[in-house]
Chain A
Amino acid sequence: AQKITQTQPGMFVQEKEAVTLDCTYDTSDPSYGLFWYKQPSSGEMIFLIYQGSYDQQNATEGRYSLNFQKARKSANLVISASQLGDSAMYFCAMKEVLSNYQLIWGAGTKLIIKP
């Protein structure tokens, strides 16, 4: 079974609109961490945001926020006021004890921002 599921292979969004990228996860660990990374066409994997399973509040980093719904095992990334430079692949990933703290990756979502 997939541990990290990203159901949107690709998305087109108009510039300046908000974007929600979906991520659901599956773990039996009570303690785990969830990450979002951005990978532009240049190849570098850029860390965006982190949410710990025990964190009471949703994580925010500038224009990025994480909509964490623990009961639903959902960790969606929200990008406010999208910009052309947001066009990239976005990966959701998880660390858990059961996997020896290795990052488990989703398949990714390719986001294209239209001018």
Chain B
Amino acid sequence: DTEVTQTPKHLVMGMTNKKSLKCEQHMGHRAMYWYKQKAKKPPELMFVYSYEKLSINESVPSRFSPECPNSSLLNLHLHALQPEDSALYLCASSRDRQQNEKLFFGSGTQLSVL
């Protein structure tokens, strides 16, 4: 099983809503990532979890709240988002964070904030 599964695939939410994005992998990977990607741009790193501990937070606004309940799951809780937060949100995992470890990506959640 070499998949990273993200749900939902599409999400439309209002600025007062609370929603969560989910990510799951069963490859035994110990590093998991959230990226934000605007159209025709490269992904921007948001958060990194390493061995279930938050190791990198790239100055992301507090309206995005990550959670790693166990080594296979990664959530991104969304609250009071702004229209400019509309983007493709990609989850990824890797065996660890070493130089030669490739990231496996999910197919993303396309988020629209109205």
Residue of A nearest to B48 (CB): A102
Point out the residue from A45, A97, A107 that lies within 8 Å of B90, measured CB to CB: A45
Interface string of A26-53 (1 = CB under 8 A from B): 0000011101010000111111001010
Assembly CA distance A96 to B98 (angstroms): 9
Interface presence of A103 (CB below 8 A)? yes
Number of interface residues of B (CB under 8 A): 22
Whether A43 touches B108, Cβ cut-off 8 Å, given contacts A50-B100, A95-B99, is yes
CB pair B107 A44 closer than 8 Å: yes
Residue of A nearest to B88 (CB): A43
Point out the residue from B98, B105, B108 that lies within 8 Å of A101, measured CB to CB: B98
Residue of A nearest to B4 (CB): A44
CB pair A106 B42 closer than 8 Å: yes
Q: In chain B between 1 and 48, which residues have their CB closer than 8 angstroms to a CB of chain A?
A: 40-43, 45, 48
Q: How large is the interface on A (under 10, 10 to 19, 20 to 34, 35 or more residues)?
A: 20 to 34
> Which A residues are CB-close (under 8 A) to B102?
35, 47, 50
Q: In chain A between 80 and 103, which residues have their CB closer than 8 angstroms to a CB of chain B?
A: 89, 91, 93, 95-97, 100-103
CB pair A102 B42 closer than 8 Å: no
> Which B residues are CB-close (under 8 A) to A110?
40
CB pair A31 B107 closer than 8 Å: no
CB pair A47 B106 closer than 8 Å: no
Point out the residue from B41, B42, B88, B99 that lies within 8 Å of A97, measured CB to CB: B99
28 contacts between A and B (CB under 8 A): A31-B99, A32-B99, A33-B99, A43-B90, A43-B107, A43-B110, A44-B105, A44-B106, A44-B107, A45-B43, A45-B92, A46-B105, A47-B103, A50-B100, A50-B102, A52-B99, A93-B42, A95-B99, A97-B99, A101-B97, A101-B98, A101-B99, A102-B45, A102-B48, A102-B56, A108-B40, A108-B42, A110-B40
